[in-house]
Amino acid sequence: MVTIYDVPADDLIEAVAARLEDRIDEPDWVEFTKSGAGKELPPEQEDFWYVRSASLLRKVAQNEPVGIERLATEYGSKKRGSNRYSVRPGEHEGGSRKLIRSALQALEDDGLVTIASGEGRRVSDEGEAFLSEVATEVFEDLDRPELERYA
């Protein structure tokens, strides 16, 4: 059985994002929001919402139980002021908590993530089956000789 640890993260996230487009709805405000306080502009990707949701699902599966604050720290960046000039050394700013919370709520509504009271979010049994199924498909489609030893 192939797990999320057996395939490269970027390939898995891309495949999960493609599947999530049919399962969850993108909010109207996503195209106008920034992905964190350290960013100056919103993301330019067309499928940003689904890629971030897939990435969050993978992070929750790896680090469960995990809370929004810890996820915001992982998705944060350095805040250095404007792109045009730098006036002081950068400090770490967290990622957008609303974006993370909304994506996790959409995944909860779809049954892929559950709330563990007092602990954070966990992947449900349906979510684990979904990730394993996608990981199996990604593993079969991989044409990378360095991964043959895992087959």
CA angle 72, 42, 76 (to 5 degrees): 20
Using CA of residue 112, residue 5, residue 34, residue 117, what is the dihedral sign?
Answer: positive
- Say what the pLDDT of residue 32 is: 86
Q: How many helical (H) and strand (E) elements, i.e. helices and strands, does the chain have?
A: 5, 4
User: Cα–Cα distance between 100 and 53 in angstroms, integer?
Assistant: 8
- The whole-number pLDDT of residue 1 equals 79
Cα 129 from Cα 125, distance rounded (Å): 6
Instruction: Give the global pTM.
Output: 0.86
Walk along the chain (151 residues) and give the pLDDT tens digit of each residue.
788 898 889 999 999 999 999 999 889 988 888 888 878 778 888 889 999 999 999 999 999 899 999 999 888 887 776 666 666 777 888 888 999 999 999 999 999 999 988 889 999 999 999 999 999 999 888 876 666 666 5
User: What pLDDT, on the 0 to 100 scale, is given for residue 81?
Assistant: 64
